[in-house]
A = this chain, B = another copy of it.
Amino acid sequence: MYKDKFTNNNSKQTGEGIYSLIKELFPICRSITGNGVRQTLKIIGRHIPLEVYEVASGTEVFDWTVPKEWNIRDAWIKDGNGFKIIDFQKCNLHVVNYSAPIRAKMPLAELQAHLFSLPDHPEWIPYKTSYYKESWGFCLSHNQLRSLTEGDYEVCIDSTLVNGSLTYAECFIPGESQEEILISTHVCHPSLANDNLSGVCTAVFLAKQLAVQKLRFSYRILFIPGTIGAITWLNRNQASVGRIKHGLVLTGMGDRGGITYKKSRRSNADIDRAASHVLRQSADNYSIEDFNPYGYDERQYCSPGFDLPVGRFSRTPYGKYPEYHTSGDNLDFIRVESLSESFAALINILEVLEGNRFYTNLVPNCEPQLGKRGLYDRVGPNQIAMLWVLNLSDGHHSLLDIAERSDTSFKQIREAADSLHQAKLLG
């Protein structure tokens, strides 16, 4: 099948801009609460208008409670000679995220219960968390773990885990309608590039581009901690989620794999159809996954009480690439080309949602005479697209329906519809 390429001006340049922002945000140690997120949002706020929210620890949000705020200044392990063998300053993945503070000396045997490594990938440091259960730990490469000798070690985690608040931000871009498209991305991961700085920074550049366009829908772009952030946001906005007509969770935009779209729980929502259509028409290598209740924050948006039409857009799904949640997911792992293509595909999907409409053929009895309106060009693809639009514009078929049934790109169908509309053949 012939594939149209994704269309977007400057998508290479945009990919480079996304990559630069990822680079800037990469060193920050983020978690589900604390200053890492605040610092991240401050930098994002230089690019797009952002409303930042703080929700106090202890606030009940549905079945959950906003947890204590975690902050960390430093952490290390010293060997018997006082030599720092693990240093948080070098890599923030070394500390199990959300670790309680500790300062102690202990023999290797005792320490080992708090050390985590990846035997299958002995050079990478794993990313681990201990949310919702106070504990502490260090992550290190398996090579380093195996090199540890017997003896006493001194450990220090200079963190605080106290009442404070959970931080998240919204970027709202108004369109003609109060109906909204939700874009959600998690900002709680420390130095990991693909998961999910790639999603965060792609969302920033989407917002930048949308802000200068004439929009039909309003857009609400969320930068939130995973799970508890989405739950908190849904809890505080439950009265107005009815406005959300379409939505996407963004994650993993930069790896070499093909684009993967995971359908919403509804499985045939417009966002599901738009994403499937765009990928089918334009991607050489992609997959469409059915909904399942595991994954990122689509879990919350698609919980049965909300059942929002929110799908997930990524490249290789989490857990399907070995670098996932390890120090291997770094700035070398992601590619500008992938970021560019992901961005272009997203823009194309949003263009479908923006441009989808039901028209009515105003000359429905037999074909109109296109020649006398200068619209006749024998059998070009544009002519066929016009015939499809005329034939199916009976009030029951949207332009996306027509694009699907004719297996023609939405862009071509919409252009045909625009020509016909100008010629007063559609109303």
Residues facing B in A356-399 (CB within 8 A) are 361, 363-369, 371-372, 379, 384, 387-388, 390-394
User: Chain B contacts of A365 at CB under 8 A?
Assistant: 62, 234-235, 238, 303, 305-306
Question: Once the chains bind, are B303 and A392 in contact (CB under 8 Å)?
Answer: no
Question: Once the chains bind, are A293 and B231 in contact (CB under 8 Å)?
Answer: no
CB distance from A249 to the nearest CB of B (A): 14
A292 within 8 Å of B by Cβ?
A: yes
Question: Once the chains bind, are A63 and B238 in contact (CB under 8 Å)?
Answer: no
Closest to A392 in B: B304
Question: Once the chains bind, are B364 and A299 in contact (CB under 8 Å)?
Answer: no
A302 within 8 Å of B by Cβ?
A: yes
A2 within 8 Å of B by Cβ?
A: no
Residues facing B in A289-305 (CB within 8 A) are 292-294, 299-300, 302-305
Question: Once the chains bind, are A63 and B294 in contact (CB under 8 Å)?
Answer: no
> Within the assembled complex, what's the spacing in Å between the Cα atoms of A303 and B362?
12
Question: Once the chains bind, are B63 and A391 in contact (CB under 8 Å)?
Answer: no
Question: Once the chains bind, are B384 and A294 in contact (CB under 8 Å)?
Answer: yes
A142 within 8 Å of B by Cβ?
A: no
Question: Once the chains bind, are B368 and A63 in contact (CB under 8 Å)?
Answer: yes
CB distance from A399 to the nearest CB of B (A): 15
Question: Once the chains bind, are B234 and A293 in contact (CB under 8 Å)?
Answer: no
User: Chain B contacts of A304 at CB under 8 A?
Assistant: 361, 364, 390-394
CB distance from A130 to the nearest CB of B (A): 12
Question: Once the chains bind, are B238 and A292 in contact (CB under 8 Å)?
Answer: no
User: Chain B contacts of A227 at CB under 8 A?
Assistant: 367
Closest to A233 in B: B366
A8 within 8 Å of B by Cβ?
A: no
Contact with B along A390-421 (1 / 0, CB 8 A): 11111000000000001000000000000000
Question: Once the chains bind, are A391 and B293 in contact (CB under 8 Å)?
Answer: yes
CB distance from A8 to the nearest CB of B (A): 30
Question: Once the chains bind, are A265 and B62 in contact (CB under 8 Å)?
Answer: no
User: Chain B contacts of A361 at CB under 8 A?
Assistant: 304-305
Q: Which of A63, A238, A306, A394 has the most CB of B within 10 A?
A: A63
> Within the assembled complex, what's the spacing in Å between the Cα atoms of A302 and B306?
42
A230 within 8 Å of B by Cβ?
A: yes
User: Chain B contacts of A90 at CB under 8 A?
Assistant: none
CB within 8 Å for A294 and B234 given contacts A62-B363, A132-B371: no
Question: Once the chains bind, are A367 and B292 in contact (CB under 8 Å)?
Answer: no
User: Chain B contacts of A384 at CB under 8 A?
Assistant: 292-294
CB within 8 Å for A303 and B366 given contacts A294-B384, A406-B292: yes
CB within 8 Å for A265 and B391 given contacts A133-B371, A406-B292: yes
Residues facing B in A49-78 (CB within 8 A) are 61-64
Closest 6 pairs between A and B when the two form their complex, measured CB to CB: A305-B364, A305-B365, A293-B391, A293-B387, A304-B394, A63-B368
22 contacts between A and B (CB under 8 A): A61-B366, A62-B363, A63-B366, A63-B369, A64-B369, A132-B369, A227-B367, A230-B366, A234-B366, A292-B388, A292-B406, A293-B387, A293-B391, A293-B392, A294-B384, A294-B387, A299-B367, A302-B391, A303-B390, A304-B364, A304-B393, A306-B366
Question: Hey, which bits of chain A sit against chain B, CB under 8 A?
Answer: 61-64, 132-133, 227, 230-231, 234-235, 238, 265, 292-294, 299-300, 302-307, 361, 363-369, 371-372, 379, 384, 387-388, 390-394, 406
